[in-house]
Amino acid sequence: MADGRALICRRAGLRLWLSLGWLALLVVVAVLAPWVAPKNPLEQDLFSGRLPPFWVHGADPAFLLGTDSLGRDVLSRIIFGTRIALAVALISGTLTCVIGASLGLLAGFYRGWVDIVISRFIDIWMAFPPVLFSILLIAVIGPGLFSIILAIVVIDWTRFARVVRAEAMAQGAMDYVASARVAGRGRFSTMLREILPNVLPIIVVLLTLEMGIAVIVEAILSFVNLSISTDDPTWGGMISEGRTSIHQAWWVLVFPLITLFLTVLSFSQLGEGLKDRFDPVLR
Amino acid sequence: MTLVRTLLLRLMTTAVTLFGVAVIVFFVIRVVPGNPVAMMLPPGATAEDVARLTALYGLDKSIPQQFVIWGAGVLHGDFGTSITLRQPVLALVLGRLPATLELSVLALVMAVLMGGAAALTGTRLRETRVEGGIDVANGMALSVPDFLWGLVLILVFGVLLPVFQISGRVTPSLHLPFVTNFYLVESLVRLRFDLTRDLLAHMFLPAFALAIPLAAIIGQLLKQSLKETMHLDYVTLARTQGYSEARVIWREALPNAILPTLTLVGVQFTFLIGGTVIIERLFSYEGLGNMAIDAVINRDLPLIQGIVILFAVIFTGVNLVVDLTYAALNPRLRHG
């Protein structure tokens, strides 16, 4: 039995490191994009349209992963697309986290009317299906990167608020909180100095999962052409182009799809892995 | 008695939710930058035309008055006219609804079959490598959303092994004798199995993509409930009476373990219907979701209003049915 547990731990650790490794690679590539990318992602070359990747007969080795119908380098577009994907993940993830976690913390620790107001708000918010919410929002504020970030924050803050509220409530009932108060610490200060550090692990887990959601939402909205302009390299935009030319040039779809798949998988595996790591029962 | 009260209470909350959705939809559309009348008229329209159309749509009245007029219209089935398609919104939306319903129900059936099979197999072969494999597959299926599964399916079964169709609802060259838009149902009723086959070849992949995450959720929860039930005394008793393990699981454990899963399936079904929006787009399937995305791209506000309200009616309707089924099935709630 002890052996089995060690095996599970080792496997979970591997999962954690693999996802972390992939995400670290993405960050490096995003930061260094202009130096890493072999070509200009916007440069069109109609004479070398739909070139296959390097190992297929008829390829031009200058375009490692081939070109799309306008002759743009697939690899360079994936590399520059990393910037948009990670920017959306970081900005919308952080904003959602700050807003949702703050409200959840206030509701869970202060209880009383603060909790009643915030909890009702969460309930009403969650009764509205997210798909309809995003359709309405984007229809009203128009497509674009800003709309995507706004839509994610407006829809997903409840995810943080609900969990953090429950966690803060559980922590608030514990003895160490009471003793901090007896020792003369103010309420707000207790919340920040005693409760927050203890709910931080769950917030980190939620933030990781939220970033994965943000990446997929951005990809979906670029896929249906409701994100930034189609010239700019986004994974979703590339997938959309690849979907239409799937029988002529499979590589335009396959490579951005693999990148997106691994990224979404990494965020969720990292989140799940951290959850297990932080869970005192499993540890 | 209590069942009737539950029913009335749920009907009332449903009505309140729908009213809330209507209010939100109305006001959100009213704050859109840009004059809706200007969008309806061709360029070069005179000021008189603008004034006449403004009066015609009641846009010169106060906002609460406008809401009452609009709400009365909606209750009479008047959702206005689509700006881009120039047809009544209600007819357009109801024309597309059957396609989306057929796809969602097919996906639900597939999810229940796949998830159920995974849970039963996992319970029968518990603590073996097979159960471990099922757990890993469930985890994978849950961490990747339906949009990505759809793309993977397109690559595998549309391109590598082209056994299924990857776009549309039916082969366009086929002559369709249908009078309703429930193609799949009608092809079965008319015994035109050649058409059923063609429809299923088109619907299989989008339905599969929608079904994968739900199947994983069903598989996980049902397996967990089954494993808990397998430790109960009455199951042990059945086993000592000499029934086979498969029969014990199927006949004794399953009926008692299934209730939590049923509730969950109901709730998750609304998520599945929400997923049709993007999956229909991915597979060029002519349903409500595909129409919604076109409407957003073209900023066709009357059409968006109609689609959002119809989706809200479907969601609240499904939730209502789930709650009532649960109340009817659960003896504790029934006798209150």
The answer to whether residue A195 sits within a structural domain is yes
Q: Which of A168-177, A181-190, A246-255, B113-122 has the highest mean pLDDT?
A: B113-122
Cα distances from B110 to residues B143, B150, B203, B212, in angstroms, run 19, 15, 12, 9
Write out pLDDT tens, residues A193-206.
888 998 999 999 99
Any CB–CB contact under 8 A between A221 and chain B? Answer: no
Look at residue B270 and give its three-state secondary structure: helix
Interface touch A136/B143, C-beta < 8 Å: no
C-alpha–C-alpha distance, residues B106 and B118, integer Å? 18
Q: Which of A127, A243, A261 sits opposite B144 (nearest CB)?
A: A261
The answer to whether residue B212 sits within a structural domain is yes
The answer to whether residue B26 sits within a structural domain is no
Of residues B248, B290, B73, B98, the one with CA closest to residue B183: B98
CA B204 to chain centre: 16
HSE-CB at A216 with a 13 A cutoff on CA atoms is 21
Q: Which residue type does B59 have?
A: L
C-alpha–C-alpha distance, residues A18 and B245, integer Å? 40
Mean pLDDT of B163-178: 88
Q: Residue A79 has what pLDDT?
A: 94
Structural domains in chain B (count) = 1
> How high is the mean pLDDT of chain B?
85
Instruction: Please tell me the least confidently modeled range out of A37-41, A86-90, B132-136.
Output: A37-41
Which residue does chain A place closest to B151, by CA atoms?
A257
Write out pLDDT tens, residues B62-75.
778 888 888 888 88
Q: Residue B333 has what pLDDT?
A: 58
b/e string for B189-226 if b means 16 or more Cβ within 10 A?
A: eeebeebbebbbebbbbbbbbbbbbbbbbbbbbbbbbb
Mean pLDDT of A199-226: 91
Q: Residue A98 has what pLDDT?
A: 96
Q: Which residue type does A13 have?
A: G
C-alpha–C-alpha distance, residues B29 and B14, integer Å? 22
The answer to whether residue B243 sits within a structural domain is yes
The answer to whether residue B191 sits within a structural domain is yes
The answer to whether residue A283 sits within a structural domain is no
> How high is the mean pLDDT of chain A?
86
Residue B230 tokens read as: 């397998």
The answer to whether residue A103 sits within a structural domain is yes
Residue A277 tokens read as: 């790591």
HSE-CB at A169 with a 13 A cutoff on CA atoms is 15
Q: Which of B32-41, B106-115, B298-307 has the highest mean pLDDT?
A: B106-115
Residue B112 tokens read as: 């229940």
Percent of chain B at pLDDT above 70? 92
Interface touch B304/A226, C-beta < 8 Å: no
Residue A207 structural domain: 2-278
Q: Residue B336 has what pLDDT?
A: 43
Write out pLDDT tens, residues A147-190.
889 989 998 999 999 999 999 998 888 888 888 888 888 888 88
Look at residue B286 and give its three-state secondary structure: coil
Residue B151 structural domain: 92-299
The answer to whether residue A32 sits within a structural domain is yes
The answer to whether residue B10 sits within a structural domain is no
**Band of the pLDDT at A46, cuts 50, 70, 90?**
confident
Q: At what angle do helices B89-124 and B254-282 cross, to 10 degrees?
A: 140
Residue A203 tokens read as: 């917030």
The answer to whether residue A251 sits within a structural domain is yes
Q: Residue A1 has what pLDDT?
A: 42
Distance between A149 CA and the closest CA of chain B, angstroms: 17
Write out pLDDT tens, residues B184-232.
999 999 888 999 999 999 999 999 999 999 999 999 999 999 988 888 8
Mean pLDDT of B135-146: 89
**Band of the pLDDT at A20, cuts 50, 70, 90?**
very high
Q: Is the pLDDT at B12 greater than 90, yes or no?
A: no
Residue numbers in A near B168 (CB within 8 A): none
Interface touch B311/A129, C-beta < 8 Å: yes
Q: Which of A124, A136, A223 sits opposite B28 (nearest CB)?
A: A136
Interface touch B159/A272, C-beta < 8 Å: no
Q: Residue A41 has what pLDDT?
A: 84
Write out pLDDT tens, residues A59-93.
778 888 888 888 888 899 999 999 999 999 999 99
The answer to whether residue A133 sits within a structural domain is yes
CATH number for the domain that contains residue B209: 1.10.3720.10
CATH number for the domain that contains residue A222: 1.10.3720.10
Interface test with B, best of A205, A243, A272 (most B CBs within 10 A): A243
Name B210's Cβ contacts closer than 8 Å, sequence gap at least 6: B103, B104, B107, B111, B146, B272, B275, B276, B279
Residue A114 tokens read as: 């603060």
Name B272's Cβ contacts closer than 8 Å, sequence gap at least 6: B104, B107, B108, B111, B210, B211, B214
**Band of the pLDDT at B247, cuts 50, 70, 90?**
confident
The answer to whether residue A30 sits within a structural domain is yes
CB atoms within 10 A of CB B75: 9
Name A205's Cβ contacts closer than 8 Å, sequence gap at least 6: A271, A274, A275, A278
Structural domains in chain A (count) = 1
Q: Is the pLDDT at A257 greater than 90, yes or no?
A: yes
Distance between B296 CA and the closest CA of chain A, angstroms: 5
Q: Is the pLDDT at A2 greater than 70, yes or no?
A: no
Percent helix, strand, coil in chain A, to 5, is 75, 0, 25
Q: Which of A130, A139, A225 sits opposite B304 (nearest CB)?
A: A139
Interface test with A, best of B131, B143, B167 (most A CBs within 10 A): B143
C-alpha–C-alpha distance, residues B205 and B280, integer Å? 11
The answer to whether residue A260 sits within a structural domain is yes
- Of A77 and B60, the structure prediction assigns the larger pLDDT to A77
Q: Residue B41 has what pLDDT?
A: 67
Q: Which of A129, A220, A254 sits opposite B315 (nearest CB)?
A: A129
